Structure 1
Amino acid sequence: MWSSLRTKLMRNGRSISTCCFVILMALTRFSEGGYNASCNSLQFERYVYEDCIPHFNHSMEASDYLNTCPWPTFKGSYLVLNDCVGKVAVVTGCIEPSLKDSVFLEVHRKYFSLCSGPADPDGPVLMLLIMPSVITTLVFSALYTWQRHDFVKLNVGV
């Protein structure tokens, strides 16, 4: 039985390799063209701008985003927006990151433009952070030199 199956497989080697290639293409979505094959970007934008963004805009109305950075206070609303946009992306088949990125870039430009990235600490705080390592380095260097000097003096005197 196994030998007859093997001979059939050897005879039909080309059709088996073709079948494997087609299955591989289907698994990797190569035949669909990657991300954009089943994406309905118009439906994605409509759902996002009709369902997700209005709820976020409503929650941001209470903030003073034109004068201060609202980030720590409205992190929860931002996470809800992120979840909503992610669900819309899955439903519409638009899992390409650039569509989500464009939505969030627009949100950041509008609401979080006053939020800056991490900044250096003030001078006194910076000194408190740096000085222990500088002092430790100097103390260990002095101790090593002092002990080395005593060791050399003992060996020379013997």
Structure 2
Amino acid sequence: MKKKEISVIFPGFIMILTLTGSVVGGGNVGSRKPSCNRANFDADIYEKCVLPFNRSMAAVDYQLKCPWPTTRQYYVKLYLCMENLANITSCSFVHSTHEVLLKIHQVYYLLCTHMMDPDWHLLVLYILPCIILTFIIPVFFHKFKLYENTLPKYD
């Protein structure tokens, strides 16, 4: 039986691939994401996300009426900014930003209710045709005797 010789090139090749992979990959082999620094994260959220949102909301008269339809784009930008910061810093998005969003809702969206009833004249316009039809249909059937079901006689 022939004895197989082990080549020195093969283990050396694996070693070189391993080292170059860690160098090219930025040396992240075996390292973890940085831990979340809550104080820095809160400061970054306020500086990078909340302040631009406050500047964009400064021109809106949120004290007089609900600004929601017109300020939706600002709110979405704020939300995405906070989500991106949470992903970058590996902080928990839900727990860290809940307080910020709650404060923003209390300041800017206080006059916005979950559901608003329409004005009374709109309600009347919606309900009145139904009421009128309820009274007209029986009169219409009685006048034209549509309630009698007579079939033609064929002899």
Given candidates 56, 59, 64, the residue that maps to 2:56 is 59
After TM superposition, what 4+ stretches of structure 1 lie above 6 angstroms from structure 2? Answer: none
Matched, 1:91 2:88: yes
Q: CA RMSD in A?
A: 2.9
Given candidates 91, 115, 118, the residue that maps to 1:121 is 118
Unaligned runs of 5+ residues in structure 2 are: 1-34
How many equivalent pairs are there?
115
The CA deviation at 1:78 is: 1.6
* Alignment partners' CA distance in 1, 2:100 and 2:86: 11
Closer/same/farther in 2, CA of residues 135 and 97 from structure 1, 3 Å limit: farther
Closer/same/farther in 2, CA of residues 147 and 79 from structure 1, 3 Å limit: same
Unaligned runs of 5+ residues in structure 1 are: 1-37
String of CA shifts for 1:15-59, please: whole Å, max 9, x gaps: xxxxxxxxxxxxxxxxxxxxxxx6554343222112111111122
Supply the AA of the counterpart residue of 1:121: P
The percentage of aligned residue pairs carrying the same residue is: 35
- Aligned 8 A contact 1:69 1:112 in 2: yes
> Which structure: larger Rg?
2
Structure number having the greater helix percentage: 1
Supply the AA of the counterpart residue of 2:52: H
- Aligned 8 A contact 2:82 2:97 in 1: yes
- Equivalent residue for 2:98? 101
The CA deviation at 1:104 is: 0.9
The CA deviation at 1:94 is: 3.3
* Alignment partners' CA distance in 1, 2:88 and 2:47: 15
* Alignment partners' CA distance in 2, 1:116 and 1:133: 28
The CA deviation at 1:63 is: 2.7
Aligned pairs for 1:1-158 (under 5 A) are 40-140=37-137, 147-148=146-147, 150-151=148-149
Closer/same/farther in 2, CA of residues 98 and 139 from structure 1, 3 Å limit: farther
* Alignment partners' CA distance in 2, 1:40 and 1:75: 30
The CA deviation at 1:111 is: 1.6
Supply the AA of the counterpart residue of 1:73: T
Structure 2 length as normaliser, TM-score? Answer: 0.57
